[in-house]
Homo-oligomer: A and B are copies of this chain.
Amino acid sequence: MLALELPRRLGAQRTNVRRAAGTARMTAVDSLLMIPGPTPLSPAVRAALAEPMRSHTSTENAASMRRIADGVRACVGSRSARVYTFAGSGTLAMEAALINHAAPGDRVVVCSHGFFGDRFSEIASAHGMHPATVQAPWGSAVRVSDVERACSESAAPAVLTITHVDTSTGVLADCAGLARIGRDAGAIVVVDGVCATGAVEELMDGWGVDVVLTGAQKALSVAPGLAVLAVSERAQHRRAQLDVHAYYADLQRWDPVVDDPTRYFSTHATGLLRALEVSLDEIAAEGLPARFARHRHVAETLRSGFAELGFESLAGTDVLAPTLSVLSVPSGVDEAALRRGLAERGVVVAGGLGPFAGRAIRVGHMGTVGDAEVSRTLEAASNALSDLT
């Protein structure tokens, strides 16, 4: 599948936004973005994005990059991972995680909990690797025995991938258990943290994970446009043994810049990096344990509120992610009409994907989202439902 068809008439964020003269813009009441990324930005992050432009080789940008590396290591739970941050997206980070650690012809075991797990298989195939995809039924987790079999039934896998939270199903993976299987099979273990890193505890060193990747626009609460990877020493050794047929996503070409961020390889997204530095400062100020607890609390409050309105979570109760909820709409309710009703009330949620399309909404609740946003969302949903039923 090359691209998903997404709703055309969302009308999101237009509702409450009015254009002022020229290019300036006034927002009467900002729409609330409750999709699973991009997520709303804090005032400090927005201010950082509007700072005067910086040189990509300045000592100031270099200092930001060093602080970002520290902040990312804290979020992923690693003392010494090498941190790469370059202009791109989570998809590009996924591709970099594969092509730097597996060669064409290599096996890649993919633990898939939905659309974004399957994407690893697509990327591997595009590069001539052989994906062995262990697919869970949507809403459930893969069976450990299936992953063990995939790791042992043929040549040893070069890489095993885990999607920490799959944005299509809201399933939270058992990273510790799956990583152990991958390590036992000798694979480089890659965790896609796009919908998790910064909102859910990750223990890269403790779990024996080699790569945690993410984008900036999810639980890290920055505007989209950055690919972020934390890479273990073991994975760096693997990279050194490979002949990578790529340029921009070849991590080895970035190494001199990681060592000394005043050096040049390709122009950094300096504004986004400054915003990421500010956001990581806010994350550190909140404290990771408190931040993880807030996400669990927000998820529980939102889900119990939606349950009272007749919505049901489509992910199993044992695998519920704290970052987004995939909720079946009450019977008789038109899902697209419901999302339009929410958008008219200034709350933007996403539609279901794949087998959940047309019967579920996806509500993101990560990053800056707290009780006020949950209340506003539930009130809008309640009112939108009243109009429809």
Contacts and interface: CB of A to CB of B under 8 A. Distances in A.
A173 B368 CA distance: 49
Contacts of A215: 267
Contacts of A205: none
A3 B89 contact: no
Interface in A39-92: 39-41, 44, 46-60, 86-92
A99 to B, nearest CB: 9
Q: Give the secondary structure class of A's interface.
A: loop
Contacts of A262: 6-8, 10
A247 B38 CA distance: 22
A8 B260 contact: yes
Contacts of A132: none
Interface string A248-275: 1110110111001011111111111000
B224 A12 contact: no
A46 B260 CA distance: 28
Interface stretch (A19-27, A179-187, A322-330, A369-377): A19-27
B245 A245 contact: yes
Contact of A25 (B41, B51, B89, B252): B51
A58 B348 contact: yes
Given A2-B253, A52-B30, A53-B33, A59 B8 contact: yes
A271 B58 contact: no
B57 A52 contact: no
A53 B39 CA distance: 7
B263 A6 contact: yes
B88 A281 contact: no
Interface string A218-238: 000001111100000000000
Given A87-B226, A88-B248, 11 more contacts: A2-B255, A5-B263, A8-B262, A58-B348, A87-B224, A88-B88, A89-B266, A104-B245, A223-B269, A224-B270, A224-B271
Interface of A: 2-14, 17, 22-25, 27, 30-31, 33, 35, 37-41, 44, 46-60, 86-92, 95, 104, 122-123, 126-128, 215, 217, 223-227, 244-250, 252-253, 255-257, 260, 262-272, 278, 281-282, 348, 350
